Chains A and B, each alone.
Chain A
Amino acid sequence: MSMNLLLREESQSPAASIRVSSKWAAQALTFLMVFGPGLIVMEADNDAGAVSTYVQAGAQYGTHLLWLLLLLLPVSYFVQEMVVRLGIVTGQGHAAMIYRRFGKWWGRFSLFDLLLVNFLTLVTEFAAIALALDRMGVDPVIGVPVAAVALVALVITGSYRRWERIVIFLCLLDLLWFAVALRVHPPAVGELVRRTLVPSMPLGGLTAGWLFLVIATVGTTIAPWQLFFQQSCVADKRLRFADLKWARLDTFVGAVFTILVAGCMMLAGNAALVRHFDFTDPAKMAVQLGAVLGPFTKHAILLLMINAAVLGTTTISLASAWAYGEVQGWPSSLQKPVREAPAFYAVYGLCVMAAAGLVLIPRAPLQLIILSVQVLAGLVLPSAIIFLQLLLNDKEVLGDQFANKPWNNLVNWTIIILLFVLSLLLAAQVAVPQLFPNA
């Protein structure tokens, strides 16, 4: 046996590995290999609906809601950290866990709600793509199907890594929001820091409209599909027990990045407020700002709207496809080629194509769909998060090492009660608006 062959065999066993000379380099490289699901789930939550909500918050209340974003940073991290733990320990998705531990009734209820709210959200993503394309002078009848085909092509390569790299690139494109925020001449740094650290009321004081924008911002930042998506993503990437600390760091980095980007969106909205623009939607605002600040601002905001919708679409469709596939017991992995997981890819493709098709129907009831998303999210999020909390206290599954500690429970129950109340208020405002005459 030649020496080269001997060395090659040694270096290749037990699996393809990269050797580095220092512990620090090994840790950095491990983090980079684990990095992905946390950033993606967080940044994809800045989807088309989130762009609309954050920009509207800025356009109506300026920088008065920046403190809320800072408050939502630990909330979103704590919620998502729980699914990371559950995903790593069980290697299963969230839907499968609900089915197994709570039985068929709760399993079907969670799955049906998730699929419905996800599909309606997808329709809003494509509606945003159509709106932004239209403002850019591209016919949505051509642009929307092209986007849908590209979104299907993104996942059918049979490589999780390829999908992840492309989606991380799309997440990083959101760095352009920082350029937009600088371009619109934001308030002085001191004022921004003060508004971020010290909660403040807008000039009109506490109104029902302000309260519901606060609720909408919370609802936008913590969405039900995120729980299902990240747990399935962690399971599909086959993260190991030893990867837990890096997966937590990935989630934290994702949360910080997402909140910073959301802050930039509020600053873009604030630019419309200080110029006394009449705000109706982010695409129109982009055109208005473009007329004052130049075409870069207009095209950047419109492209970022499309990027947000694309990120939202691929992750939400995957959350549905993984959840449905897990429950049905189908092979459901981005690592598998289409011939080995046809049903998984079919669900993904069906979600994308049906949502894109619905948007192209003339006079489709988009406003009704947006309202339905809000009401359904109010149904799905509290139930999903209750199951999550119960699963994280399930010592038969997680053991003492990975189950919630008392301080975890204190934080999480506080978050859950807050989300219950806010979800109920938001859904009540949509379903029974006469209860809130000034909203």
Chain B
Amino acid sequence: MATLITELDDRMEQMRRSFAVVHPLDDVPEEKVDTEHLGHMRMTRTVKICLFALRGYLLLMVGMLGFRVLQLAGVIHG
């Protein structure tokens, strides 16, 4: 019995000194930031400017594509 307890103590000490590595998929799921109830992003000046610039860029691209389509269709020449 004494031998068993000594062996147990040794093993416990060994475990205390060792490092446990867990694969993320085997680990207990971590609590993440709750984004579901945050709602939309605050419209700060930077956000507004960025979205405005993005809209402008997209309109320009769509305009270019439209021009090309009309050109291929023979509506616009040159």
Chain A interface residues toward B at CB < 8 A? 3, 6-7, 10-11, 14-23, 25-26, 29-30, 33-34, 89-92, 96-97, 100-103, 106, 160-161, 237-241, 243, 335, 375, 378-379, 382-383, 386, 389-391, 393-394, 396-399, 420, 424, 427-428, 431-432, 434
Residues of A within 8 A of B11 (CB): 7
Task: Name which residue of chain B comes closest to A31, CB basis.
Answer: B21
Residue pair A237, B61 in contact (C-beta under 8 Å): no
Contact of B22 among A15, A89, A399 (CB under 8 A): A15
Residue pair A378, B61 in contact (C-beta under 8 Å): yes
Q: How many Å lie between the Cα of A91 and that of B36 in the bound state?
A: 11
Residues of A within 8 A of B38 (CB): 100-101, 396-397
Quote the shortest CB–CB distance from A326 to chain B (angstroms): 11
Task: Name which residue of chain B comes closest to A241, CB basis.
Answer: B30
Chain B interface residues toward A at CB < 8 A? 4, 7-8, 11-12, 15, 17-30, 32-33, 35-36, 38, 40-42, 46-47, 50-51, 53-54, 57-58, 60-61, 64-65, 67-68, 78
Task: Name which residue of chain A comes closest to B62, CB basis.
Answer: A379
Task: Name which residue of chain A comes closest to B24, CB basis.
Answer: A238
Contact of A424 among B8, B26, B46, B60 (CB under 8 A): B60
Quote the shortest CB–CB distance from A6 to chain B (angstroms): 7
Contact of A375 among B26, B46, B65 (CB under 8 A): B65
Residue pair B60, A237 in contact (C-beta under 8 Å): no
Quote the shortest CB–CB distance from A85 to chain B (angstroms): 11
Task: Name which residue of chain A comes closest to B22, CB basis.
Answer: A17
Residue pair A238, B30 in contact (C-beta under 8 Å): yes
Residue pair B19, A424 in contact (C-beta under 8 Å): no
Q: How many Å lie between the Cα of A390 and that of B47 in the bound state?
A: 7
Residue pair B24, A34 in contact (C-beta under 8 Å): yes
Residues of B within 8 A of A240 (CB): 24, 27, 30
Q: What are 29 contact pairs spanning A and B, CB under 8 A? A: A3-B8, A10-B12, A10-B15, A17-B20, A17-B22, A19-B19, A19-B20, A21-B19, A26-B20, A89-B32, A89-B33, A92-B32, A96-B35, A101-B38, A161-B23, A238-B24, A238-B29, A239-B24, A240-B24, A240-B27, A375-B61, A389-B50, A390-B47, A390-B50, A420-B57, A424-B57, A427-B64, A428-B64, A431-B65
Task: Name which residue of chain B comes closest to A113, CB basis.
Answer: B58
Residue pair A427, B61 in contact (C-beta under 8 Å): yes
Residues of B within 8 A of A427 (CB): 61, 64
Task: Name which residue of chain A comes closest to B37, CB basis.
Answer: A100
Quote the shortest CB–CB distance from B42 to chain A (angstroms): 7
Residues of B within 8 A of A17 (CB): 20-22, 26
Closest 5 A/B residue pairs (Cβ): A26-B19, A91-B32, A17-B20, A101-B41, A19-B18
